Amino acid sequence: MRSPASMLASRRYDAALDQGISAFQARADAVFNRCGLGSAPRRQHLDGVLTHRAHVLNELLAAVAPLPTCPEHLRGFDAHSLVASGSTAALDSMAQMIFDAAPAAMEATGPGTGPERAVTTRDASGRMITKFYGDFDPWGPFKPRTVQLVTEWSCDAARGANSVRARANAPVAHVYRDGSTRPV
């Protein structure tokens, strides 16, 4: 039989654990709503605290990572890799970075910010508000990707008639509409 002191300590631990789970769930719900994804997934039966947080973060990253405005260091990140270490502090710091970057990536507008997307959120009074983000160019799918050919004097890239001795520029890269470059 357990002593009353150990039962009281167990209840305090459970209350603190529930409060931590509730705070994380509320923050995740706010970010999911701001991104137009509804509410964050709820904790499943037999999910530990860290496992649940990893599920929530991976689902948010799955929605945001394909967007061009998502930070590069978050692409391909798997939150379950931090669960194995058991580090709550590391998972919480990554959650903070992901929660800060996700709405910014989802709400980006202008050229190179990804396809047009509708983000429906619920405001404080419960009304559904739809906002549109992304690249609003209706002719974008029909335009060629290349807009500019970058040339420079390069002995490595110049061959034959386009050599440095022939005084011609050699193409070295393509610049695309979204600002990215690829070598020729």
Q: Are residues 99 and 28 in the same domain?
A: yes
pLDDT computed for residue 168 by the predictor:
52
Q: Are residues 68 and 158 in the same domain?
A: no
Radius of gyration of the chain, Cα coordinates, nearest whole angstrom = 25
Six-digit token string for 10:
């167990």
pLDDT computed for residue 160 by the predictor:
55
Q: Where are the beta strands (DSSP E) in 37-153?
A: 117-122, 128-133, 146-152
Domain count, the chain: 2
Residue 119 falls within a domain, yes or no?
no
Residue 165 falls within a domain, yes or no?
yes
Backbone angles phi, psi at 73, to 5 degrees: -70, -15
pLDDT computed for residue 139 by the predictor:
72
The residue assigned the tokens 């490595």 is 156
Q: Which residues contact 154 (CB under 8 A, 6 or more apart)?
A: 164, 170, 172
Containing structural domain, residue 169: 144-183
pLDDT computed for residue 169 by the predictor:
56
pLDDT computed for residue 95 by the predictor:
92
Q: Are residues 100 and 152 in the same domain?
A: no
Q: CA 28 to CA 41: how far, in whole Å?
A: 9
State which of 48, 78, 107 marks the end of a domain: 107
Q: Which residues contact 123 (CB under 8 A, 6 or more apart)?
A: 129
Residue 118 falls within a domain, yes or no?
no
pLDDT computed for residue 179 by the predictor:
64
Contact yes or no for 38/52 (Cβ under 8 A):
no
Q: How long a stretch of residues is the chain?
A: 184
**What distance lies between CA 177 and its chain's CA centroid?**
21
Q: Are residues 27 and 82 in the same domain?
A: yes
Six-digit token string for 6:
């150990």
Contact yes or no for 91/53 (Cβ under 8 A):
yes
Residue 56 falls within a domain, yes or no?
yes
Residue 95 falls within a domain, yes or no?
yes
pLDDT computed for residue 116 by the predictor:
78
pLDDT computed for residue 113 by the predictor:
78
Residue 131 falls within a domain, yes or no?
no
Residues of the chain with pLDDT under 70: 1-17, 140-141, 143-182, 184
Six-digit token string for 163:
């050599």
